[in-house]
Amino acid sequence: MAKLLQEIKSQSLRGTSKLDEIVAQLSAEDGKDLREALNDPTIRPMQIIHALKKRRLKLSPSSITRYRDNHNVAQC
């Protein structure tokens, strides 16, 4: 096997996403609210980012967009 392919195959994948890590840090109620906001296409990513920033949590808008793309959240 080629060295590059062997190196790629030997790498472990992250078990959790950044969003899962953030939800785990929030209270159950706030985690549920975050999931609802992520699944609501009328809420813009920056609105979520600002609310998380007030709680000293950091997330990029692209993480939200990627989540929405992967979970088929229709964009408005």
66 pLDDT band, cuts 50/70/90, is: very high
pLDDT at 75: 72
Domain ranges (residues) in the chain: 19-70
Give the chain's radius of gyration (CA, Å): 16
Q: Could you tell me the pTM of the whole model?
A: 0.76
Interval 17-29: pLDDT, tens? 899 999 999 999 9
Q: Which of 19, 64, 35 is nearest to 75 (CA)?
A: 64
13-59 pLDDT tens trace: 766 789 999 999 999 999 999 999 999 999 999 999 999 999 999 99
| Residue 59: closest CA among 14, 16, 18 | 18
Question: Which one, of 35, 36, 30, lies nearest residue 56 by Cα?
Answer: 30
In the predicted model, what is the mean pLDDT of residues 62-68? 94
8-state DSSP, 74: -
For residue 43, what pLDDT is reported?
97
